[in-house]
Amino acid sequence: MSYTVLIPARLASSRLPNKPLADIAGLPMIVRVARQAARSQARRVVVAADDPSIVAACQAHGVEVVLTRTDHPTGSDRLAEACEQLGLQGDDRVVNVQGDEPLIDPALIDACAELLARLSDCVMSTAAHPIHDPADFANPNVVKVVLDAAQRALYFSRAPIPWWRDAPAPATPATHVSPALRHIGLYGYRAGFLREFPRLSVSPLEGIESLEQLRVLWHGHRIAVHITPDAPGAGVDTPADLERVRALLQTVTP
């Protein structure tokens, strides 16, 4: 497929210092993520780093990397700068893979890119999977998404949506109608829109929910959503997450 994977990587992390350089089975985590993303059909995988130490780690293992500014407020801003450096624009497709997801499914990356190619009226694509646990449905840390008939996002929220008015118990998913959907933080973009995104004003809904994708909907753009049956492999946010992934990949060859 003719698309590019961009992986934003920040050295600072409050819960896991120097996270991109954390060793996982003999390789820095950012290299593990890039190699996993390279198993997709993307024509190019590029890390967008904010520190020379990340650049050095990538170069040592043959991973393409660009050095971006340190003062970007969001990962989207960092990706917009990377698009400029790489000359990506217009309808060039970009998939944003987070730099702390060494278990990301390459097929899911391809699905986001393919959906964006198919739905020409959408500037972004993302993914979601069914929620089966009522505790997840009620959990504000689990972001939910509701779709229209063509699988375009209507709204993202930390609240339990859609709300089943006649549920036998509060905050119960209406699974007899259609499954509630958990949003997966994987994004496809048209490069022209990604370069425009940092200039869009922050929406009130984005401020309330603390969800950046609501800025896109607020300004009248469309987001296509790929539904996958299963949850993706969990990312690495904490030292405990890091140890779990290390245990899973301890027999993998560097």
Count of domains forming the chain: 1
What is the pLDDT, as a whole number, of residue 253? 66
> What residue type is assigned to position 227 of the chain?
I
Burial of 130 (0-12, 13-18, 19+ CB in 10 A): middle
Asked, for residue 248, whether it belongs to a domain, the answer is no
Beta carbons of 70 and 3 less than 8 angstroms apart: no
Asked, for residue 191, whether it belongs to a domain, the answer is yes
Ranges of the chain with pLDDT below 70: 1, 252-253
Asked, for residue 137, whether it belongs to a domain, the answer is yes
What is the pLDDT, as a whole number, of residue 42? 97
What is the pLDDT, as a whole number, of residue 145? 98
**Distances from the Cα of 57 to the Cα of 27, 29, 86, 123, 239, angstroms:** 9, 10, 20, 33, 20
What are 33's two structure tokens?
A: 């993520």
The CATH number linked to 33 is 3.90.550.10
pTM score, two decimals? Answer: 0.92
Asked, for residue 242, whether it belongs to a domain, the answer is no
Residue-number span of the structural domain to which 50 is assigned? 4-231
Q: Inter-axis angle of helices 29-37 and 52-60, to 10 degrees?
A: 60
Asked, for residue 219, whether it belongs to a domain, the answer is yes
What is the pLDDT, as a whole number, of residue 124? 97
Asked, for residue 236, whether it belongs to a domain, the answer is no
Asked, for residue 243, whether it belongs to a domain, the answer is no
Asked, for residue 244, whether it belongs to a domain, the answer is no
